[in-house]
Amino acid sequence: MRIITVTLLSLCLWQSAIANAANTDVHNWIEVYPQSFEQVEDFFIQRGCKFHQNAAAIYEPSSERWWSPEEAAEAYPQYQAAFTSIACPIVATTAELTELLQLEFGVAEKVLLYFDISRDSGGDFRNIIRQNERMWSLYQERLSLLDKFDLLPKYKIITPRH
Q: Which of helix, strand or coil describes residue 5? A: helix
CA 111, distance to chain mean position in Å, is: 10
**Contact between residue 130 and residue 67 where contact means Cβ atoms under 8 Å apart:** no
Measured CA to CA in angstroms, residue 70 lies from 2, 29, 41, 82, 139 at distances of 61, 23, 24, 11, 20
Q: Residue 136: pLDDT band by 50, 70, 90 thresholds?
A: confident
- Asked if residue 12 has pLDDT above 90, the reply is no
pLDDT band at residue 127 using 50, 70 and 90 as cut-offs: low
Please give the pLDDT value at position 8.
35
pLDDT of residue 117: 86
The domains of the chain are located at: 27-157
Confidence of residue 159 (pLDDT cuts 50, 70, 90): confident
* Tally of residues, the chain: 162
Higher confidence at residue 58 or residue 23?
Answer: 58
